[in-house]
Amino acid sequence: MAVNNPTFNLDHLANEVKSDVIAWRRHLHQHPELSFQEEKTAQYVYETLVSFGNMEISRPTKTSVLARLIGPNEGRVLAIRADMDALPIQEETSYEFASANPGVMHACGHDGHTAMLLGTAKVLSGLKEEIKGEVRFIFQHAEELFPGGAQELVEAGVMDGVDNVIGIHLLSHLEVGKVGVAYGPMMASPDTFHITVKGKGGHAAYPHQTVDSIAIAAQVVTNLQHIVSRNTDPIDNLVVSVTQFAGGTAHNIIPGSVELCGTVRSFDPSLRQSMPGKMERIIKGITDAHDASYEFRYEFGYRQVINDHEVTKVIEETVREVYGEDALQLMRPTMGGEDFSAYQQVSPGVFFNVGAGNVEEGITYPHHHSHFAIDERALDIGVKLFLHASFKILK
Ligand code: NI
């Protein structure tokens, strides 16, 4: 069983920090900062952690915070991660705690992640004597912007000696009260690419005197989809999306070049490694065939989020025990990406979702939307899951 030791009751302790967690979340929401610029956020988190006592607190990078809660008895080390960055979006909600920073908004719920981890740290810091081993709280910067804060923190040593790592993402398309858990592959690797198709510009009335970069680039776009539909095992998941197609200035000018960019999402590491070669063969073939040339750049992004079976099972059991069978939602993988994967390269871990949507109250806007919102009851659910899971994992 999880749960409540005769000497303390985690649910009661979590209830005592409920209003703090909401207040922290609203403060952070009102003062969002962009990736790699979370200076005030990190300072706020640092000072809040200091006020709890009992922890070793440090700043591994300029805009991140690490707190170590080391119990009196030796044991395992559990890391819990929250990301803290906001997005370049002008908030359009009417909350009194809406963003006071024009053009910047917590539109993905990272304010909630930070507040939940602060609440967890507050409760656990008061239970220091009960901790067997260590709980390490990672307040990470820059999840939204490649190369991401996670890898930087791993390199700074925050995962040294960690046995397991867990993290939550709130989800507005999952109803509050539900907890989403996925075994194995959960999120894809989000790679990016840039292609320049170089033709020869000229008058639109005399196409034979040009090398039409628009017509050629259009064929490149079409043929890239053949990698997905014809060159890849249908059982393997793969997305190739061309998301930008830029060229030309007027109706009567054939432009000399076209710029394309987009993303490739996959789960299988060897398929992923083969993608730059597969794409370049097509780009080269088509541009050669039409007397054009090209430039091609492929950048590997975050790695796949792959949840460890044993740790995922602990979370699944915790959800069942604390919230009952109905709360548990086994999730399908998504082609979204997350730099939580950087921690999972070091230690087995699980990333899971806490529902924060509420259809009746109209809290249904997608993440990264100017009206994005969360049902704040999700925060308490997240704190309780972190608390119960911590004791189960360290037991
Ligand atoms: Ni996010």
Q: How far is the CA of 301 from the centre of ligand 1 (A)?
A: 15
Q: How far is the CA of 336 from the centre of ligand 1 (A)?
A: 10
Assess whether 85 carries a catalytic annotation: yes
pTM: 0.93
Q: How far is the CA of 120 from the centre of ligand 1 (A)?
A: 19
247-253 long-range contacts, CB within 8 A, separation 24+: 247/213, 247/214, 247/217, 248/214, 251/204, 252/203, 252/204, 252/205, 253/201, 253/202, 253/203, 253/204
Q: How far is the CA of 108 from the centre of ligand 1 (A)?
A: 5
Residue 184: which residues within 8 A CB-CB, separation 6 or more? 306, 307, 309, 333
Specify the pLDDT at position 233: 95
Domains of the chain (ranges; CATH) run 10-187+305-394 (3.40.630.10), 189-299 (3.30.70.360)
CA gap 123, 138 in Å, rounded: 16
CA gap 284, 270 in Å, rounded: 22
Specify the pLDDT at position 230: 96
Q: Catalytic pick from 83, 111, 143, 144? A: 143
Contact between residue 179 and residue 329 where contact means Cβ atoms under 8 Å apart? yes
Specify the pLDDT at position 2: 46
- Give start and end residues of each alpha helix (H) in 198-353: 213-230, 269-289, 309-323, 341-344
Q: Catalytic pick from 33, 85, 91, 268? A: 85
Assess whether 236 carries a catalytic annotation: no
Q: How far is the CA of 357 from the centre of ligand 1 (A)?
A: 15
Q: How far is the CA of 284 from the centre of ligand 1 (A)?
A: 36
Specify the pLDDT at position 7: 73
Specify the pLDDT at position 5: 59
Specify the pLDDT at position 218: 98
Q: Please report, in tens digits, the pLDDT of each residue of the chain (395 residues total).
A: 445 555 789 999 999 999 999 999 999 999 999 999 999 999 999 999 999 999 999 999 999 999 999 999 999 999 999 999 999 999 999 999 999 999 999 999 999 999 999 999 999 999 999 999 999 999 999 999 999 999 999 999 999 999 999 999 999 999 999 999 999 999 999 999 999 999 999 999 999 999 999 999 999 999 999 999 999 999 999 999 999 999 999 999 999 999 999 999 999 999 999 999 999 999 999 999 999 999 999 999 999 999 999 999 999 999 999 999 999 999 999 999 999 999 999 999 999 999 999 999 999 999 999 999 999 999 999 999 999 999 999 99
CA gap 262, 264 in Å, rounded: 7
Provide the pairing of β-strand 257-266 with 238-246.
antiparallel
Burial 210-221 (b: 16+ CB within 10 A, else e): bbbbbbbbbbbb
CA gap 343, 154 in Å, rounded: 7
Counting Cβ atoms within 10 Å, is residue 128 exposed (0-12), middle (13-18) or buried (19+)? middle
Specify the pLDDT at position 1: 40
Specify the pLDDT at position 4: 53
Q: How far is the CA of 144 from the centre of ligand 1 (A)?
A: 7
Task: Select from 150, 166, 138 the least CA-distant residue to 66.
Answer: 138
